A and B are shown apart, each in its own frame.
Chain A
Amino acid sequence: GESVGLHLPTLSVQEGDNSIINCAYSNSASDYFIWYKQESGKGPQFIIDIRSNMDKRQGQRVTVLLNKTVKHLSLQIAATQPGDSAVYFCAEGQSGSARQLTFGSGTQLTVLP
């Protein structure tokens, strides 16, 4: 999603459904990408990463898809659970000595019972 002013994009899904969170990244030179989950009052928690030489990577209940042509990243969460409710950030980075990350604007995921 893309941010508008101070409002986080939001996504509400029913418990048990699949969630798809989207992210547009900005730098065509970025060669790795990370998805983070941030719960209220906590620091970002690593979910999954992907390098630019891949277009798909799967983890436990999560899949990240990378489309370099349109600079688009998505996170798919299977069988969404209440504990998945959080803000999700994508981050992009470039190989180099400092491994800097630039974060996207974030998406608030709310899982409905």
Chain B
Amino acid sequence: DTEVTQTPKHLVMGMTNKKSLKCEQHMGHRAMYWYKQKAKKPPELMFVYSYEKLSINESVPSRFSPECPNSSLLNLHLHALQPEDSALYLCASNWGAGGNYGYTFGSGTRLTVV
């Protein structure tokens, strides 16, 4: 298995809703990432998990809450989002320290906040 799987592919949520994005990989990668991508812009790093521990939070608002239940799974919990949070949310993984540099990205979750 050489893929990063993200669910759902599309999500529409209201500003008072609570939802979660899920990411899964079975490549044995030990680093996992959340990126946010607005239209016609490059992906921007949000969070990094290394060996299941949060190692980087790029000053992301607390309405985004990441979770790494185990080495294969990464969640992003969403609560009280704003319309400007609408974007493509990408998950990625790689071997982390000492391993292959290349990242593998999932296809993303297209989030619309109404």
Question: Residues on A close to B: CB < 8 A?
Answer: 6-8, 32, 34, 36, 41-46, 49, 51, 89, 93, 96-106
* Stretch from B11-19, B62-70, B89-97 contacting the other chain: B89-97
**When A98-B31, A103-B42 are in contact, do A49 and B56 touch as well, CB less than 8 Å?**
no
Residue of B nearest to A33 (CB): B101
Interface size, chain B (Cβ < 8 Å): 27
Residue of A nearest to B99 (CB): A99
B105 touches A97 (CB 8 A): no
Which 9 pairs of residues, A with B, have the shortest CB-CB distance? A103-B42, A43-B105, A97-B97, A43-B107, A44-B105, A98-B48, A43-B108, A32-B101, A8-B40
| Residues of chain B with a CB closer than 8 A to A89's CB | 42-43
A46 touches B104 (CB 8 A): yes
Residue of B nearest to A7 (CB): B40
| Residues of chain A with a CB closer than 8 A to B82's CB | none
Question: Residues on B close to A: CB < 8 A?
Answer: 4, 6, 31, 40-45, 48, 50, 55-56, 90, 92, 94, 96-97, 101-108, 110
A49 touches B96 (CB 8 A): no
Question: How far is the CB of B38 from the nearest CB of chain A, in Å?
Answer: 9
| Contact for A100 among B40, B48, B105, CB less than 8 A | B48
**When A43-B90, A43-B106, A89-B42 are in contact, do A98 and B96 touch as well, CB less than 8 Å?**
yes
A-B contact pairs, 8 of them (CB 8 A): A6-B41, A34-B102, A44-B105, A46-B103, A97-B96, A99-B94, A99-B97, A105-B42
A99 touches B101 (CB 8 A): yes
B31 touches A106 (CB 8 A): no
A42 touches B108 (CB 8 A): yes
